[in-house]
Amino acid sequence: MRLLSETHPLVTGVTSDAPLVRALRGDRPERVPVWFMRQAGRSLPEYRALRQETRMLDACLDPALASEITLQPVRRHGVDAAVFFSDIVVPLLLAGVEVDLVAGKGPVFAHPVRTAADVEHCRATYTPERLREALEPVREAVRLTVAELGETPLVGFAGAPFTLAAYLVEGGPSREHLRARTLMQSEPEVWHDLLEWVADLSAVFLEAQVEAGASAVQLFDSWAGSLSVNDYREYVAPASARALSLVRQLGFHHPGWHGYADVALQVPVIHFAVGSGHLLEALAELGPDAVGVDWRIPLDEASERLGSEMPLQGNLDPALLGAPDEALEAHLADVLTRGQHAPAHILNLGHGVPPETDPAVLTRIVELAHAF
């Protein structure tokens, strides 16, 4: 295990007793920790004002701007964690892959990756070493953010290998990922080579965020829900585990923390996949500290399926953010009550904040959850 620097907020103890970090250790802090996926971004007017003349990927690579966007929802909502403002394609971009974010569409790749020759070119050209050398803007953004956050932990994140590979094979967004799933089945060796390469890029991206000061990370899989359990375990799970491997090698000592003074603790890891209720056990098998649950499965049922042994994150239905107050508050109370069946619970959405969300609704959710 490689120990984090002496100035890291988990090492100094600044964030090691934060409600989010305690929940990820299986503890129940005095209040339920709350943060929202996509809390930094489109729903905030202050974000839209900053982004008026700046392209998304340029904003991600401007350390001061990325830090400010990361901090905005913490100031506005009083959430218990910041999530680093970036995009899942940033590690690919910094490694040299030609990609653009097209408004209203998403990531578009100039050269889709569909053959053994394509994969070999990527592995030889867009290397983890090249990415590591290009990550200084990300590290600086994390350092700036952590310096402002104080006791509030920063959650780093990366896209999971399957999601990134699906984009690469399709050349852009796709609902069914038919090309990707066909490649998976027809040329499994090519598929595994592709996922290993992408996993290594995600791993380096996560490692950089943690070393610069992130107190936890989340591996985010947008498209894993399109896979069967068997396909996920055989063709995807090993690469997701590989993506988490570098973070799992980073640890810290925190004297006096719940009797762990003489043990090196690992940086907490959350794994979340959309539409993954049928994959719940498979996600847990990767060994995260918590599994994110989307809105399709109740938290008490999810906890029971996992032996009531794993902290859970989730799982407010994003659609309820636009519902009448009574409906939203009843749903929130139900989620919080069901979350008590798990060893620990981090309140979040079952996916990301929709761009049309009224920010005042998110602030109200935080207040109600903290008072629950």
Rounded to whole angstroms, how far apart are CA atoms 288 and 277?
16
Structure tokens, 66: 């990325």
- Dihedral of CA 165/205/60/36: which sign? positive
- Residue 243, CA distances (Å) to 141, 147, 185, 205, 209 in order: 22, 27, 22, 9, 14
Q: Which of 268, 334, 349 is nearest to 73 (CA)?
A: 349
Q: Which of 275, 276, 254, 278 is nearest to 264 (CA)?
A: 254
- Catalytic (active site) residue 167: yes
- Is residue 68 within 8 A of residue 113, CB to CB? The reply is no
Rounded to whole angstroms, how far apart are CA atoms 199 and 165?
9
Beta bridge partners, 2, equal 250
Structure tokens, 159: 């896209």
**Could you say which of 31, 51, 248, 364 is catalytic?**
51
**Could you say which of 25, 38, 76, 181 is catalytic?**
38
- Is residue 163 within 8 A of residue 224, CB to CB? The reply is yes
The strand ranges marked E within 86-211 are 99-102, 106-109, 154-159
At residue 224's C-alpha, the angle toward residues 219 and 225, to 5°, is 125
**Could you say which of 47, 80, 87, 181 is catalytic?**
87
25 contacts: CB under 8 Å, gap ≥ 6: 258, 265, 268, 289, 344
Q: Which of 71, 87, 24 is nearest to 313 (CA)?
A: 24
- Catalytic (active site) residue 51: yes
The one-character DSSP state at 153 is: P
Residue showing tokens 């910094």: 94
- Catalytic (active site) residue 87: yes
- Catalytic (active site) residue 38: yes
The one-character DSSP state at 107 is: E
**Could you say which of 126, 167, 232, 235 is catalytic?**
167
The catalytic residues are 38, 42, 51, 87, 167
